[in-house]
Amino acid sequence: MIVPITGNVTYSITLDPTVWIFDDRKILLEEAFTKQENEQKVEDNELEDASKRWNRAVYQQKINPPVNKSISRFEREKILENSYVMPINEFVDHAEVNENATDVTLVTNKGHEHISLKALQNCYLLFALDGKPLKEEGPVHLFFKDGSNKDNPITGIEKIIIN
């Protein structure tokens, strides 16, 4: 259930979509393709969310073991009923793609798909459907942010290779 990002990057990283369900960066699938709503949400909450993540990271270092107690029981139940996507651009940035990289190979359980690096940076990864990890055709599905493949995402992604 992991997805490595490898290839023409400074740091190969491994994504674990099973832990994203409680990540503040996730977006409801229903809201992912409404551009205006997303832009406003990013502008309004970017600094506040970064501050919360920082405070939580510092606070959790003092707890043994680290536990996120900021989510109420109601919120937990609500989270476990919805479908979510995660923007991939932040993970690609952390891998530090080399300047000469231009395209991406998505290794899926059905073969290989090729897209541009620019297209990858404007994508979402669907990781939870009705609050549950994608076991069939998973661990993630790739959607373009413009919604052009909303009805036909790239499924069964097992590895992302930057070329």
Going residue by residue through the chain, which has 163 residues, state the pLDDT in tens, using 9 for 90 and above: 899 999 999 999 999 998 898 788 899 998 998 864 555 555 556 667 767 766 666 665 555 444 455 556 666 677 778 899 999 998 999 999 999 999 999 999 999 999 999 999 999 999 999 888 888 888 999 999 999 999 999 999 999 999 9
Give the long-range contacts of residues 113-122, CB within 8 A, separation 24 or more: 113/154, 117/162, 119/144, 120/88, 120/92, 120/160, 121/88, 121/89, 121/92, 122/89, 122/146
pLDDT confidence of residue 66: 46
Rounded Cα gap, residues 121 and 144, in angstroms = 9
**Nearest partner of 90 among 122, 51, 133, 56, judged by Cα:** 122
pLDDT confidence of residue 35: 62
Chain-centroid distance, C-alpha 50: 16
| 141's tokens | 């599905």
Rounded Cα gap, residues 106 and 114, in angstroms = 6
Q: State the pTM of this model.
A: 0.75
pLDDT confidence of residue 65: 45
pLDDT confidence of residue 137: 86
Pairing status of strand 84-87 against strand 3-7: unpaired
Residue where the block lists tokens 């109420």: 72
